[in-house]
Chains A and B, each alone.
Chain A
Amino acid sequence: MWKGLSVITASPSPIVVVLSGSMEPAFQRGDLLFLWNNPAPDHVGSVVVYEVKDKPIPIVHRIVRKFGTGPDTKLLTKGDNNNADDTELFAKGQDYLGPDDIIGGVVGYIPFVGYVTILLSEYPWLKTAMLGLMGLLVILQRE
């Protein structure tokens, strides 16, 4: 199903969880976003998820400048809650994003549901605890 969704939306990860507060108050940490990349909405003002070379974490920000069209499009983004645009976040020497850097544009929104994944990645012992709990229950339920 994940693969199918990936194909339809043409995005490598069609559902993402917001990890930072840089788009507040629109998105909080833990909110779930549905992406579309077929083609990605790239008009100025739309919110896109992009990836920067050598940085593992995708970023959700709003497009504030757009120059040109097609594969040569140059995009500049900014987080609603940030004072400065994203030039600092880009790779060294990179001034703009290209269409290939975009993983998808945000089309749908569900609040808070993704918070579990943040908890699990920030407190690794939770994973162990949950596994243990499940194991315990399996044992207990075998009358």
Chain B
Amino acid sequence: MFNSLNRIQNTFGFFTTVAFVLASFIALSDFVTPRAPSAGTIVPESVQVVKGRPHYYSSKKEEYAIVKFSLDASLESLFTWNTKQVFVYVTVEWPEPGADNVTNSAVIWDQIITSPSADHLSNLSPVALRKLKRSAEGKSIDPSRGKLKIKNQKPKYQITHPTGKLAEAEDVRLRLHYSVQPWFGILTFDQESDIGLWKAFKGGVSELFKLPALKKKTTT
């Protein structure tokens, strides 16, 4: 009965089972690894509201808010052997005027922090990639990459609102978030309360501030 085809089938089947079980154990190991991420400060440095067009050929004029910020955070504990990348992002949140419990939020800045094991996948220039790889030579996990210290960072994205109105919005705040992408398993995010060994994200929210009035046009 055991011809070569059967043998190949059995070997392959056994291989996939073993690989899957092993990967499941690795995925489950996330739950027994404590996480205690925290953020020291996150503060808006300068805030501007300007008028502009969504794209060159648009006749519509909208208000855009540009928020520069500083932050520091320690996310070291998020880097384990199953971490492929941590996506760190800063949102601006503000309540919808005249509506209860409606929060608008928009990402103004994000960064992909790869684990050294995933460096080869990142979309960087060859020089930057070589530098990144060299920074963690011989290591497959590098928690020190989770240490963030960012000063007076320009936003990558401007904020808009569907109504086109933003100036003088009140109760605005910045919030730091993260999203952990595993090699295998479930995607996890910053949490507001403790879940098992994973602590809630401490800090990461700025004081409330107000967006300024519309800035008169300057050449940009």
Contacts and interface: CB of A to CB of B under 8 A. Distances in A.
Interface of A: 24-26, 28, 43-47, 62, 64-69, 74, 80-81, 85, 87, 95-96, 106-111, 137, 141
A25 B112 contact: yes
Of the listed residues A26, A85, A108, the one surrounded by the most CB atoms of chain B closer than 10 A to its CB is A26
Contacts of B23: 110
A140 B107 CA distance: 61
Contacts of A111: 183-184
Given A28-B121, A46-B187, A109-B187, 5 more contacts: A26-B85, A26-B87, A44-B177, A109-B182, A111-B184
Contacts of B160: 65
**Size class of the contact patch on chain B:** 35 or more
A109 B106 CA distance: 25
Nearest to A68: B102
Interface of B: 3, 5, 23, 54, 84-85, 87, 89, 91, 96, 99, 101-107, 110, 112, 114, 118, 121-123, 157, 159-162, 177, 179, 181-187, 189
A109 B104 contact: no
A80 B102 contact: no
A67 B161 contact: yes
B104, B107, B185: most-surrounded residue (chain A CB, <10 A): B107
Given A66-B104, A96-B162, A141-B5, A46 B179 contact: yes
14 contacts: A25-B112, A26-B112, A43-B105, A44-B89, A45-B87, A45-B189, A46-B187, A46-B189, A47-B187, A65-B159, A107-B186, A108-B187, A110-B23, A141-B5
B27 to A, nearest CB: 9
Contacts of B122: 24-25
A67 B104 contact: yes
A131 to B, nearest CB: 16
Contact of A44 (B3, B91, B121, B123): B91
A79 B84 CA distance: 17
Contact of B179 (A45, A67, A110, A141): A45
Contacts of A64: 106-107, 110, 157
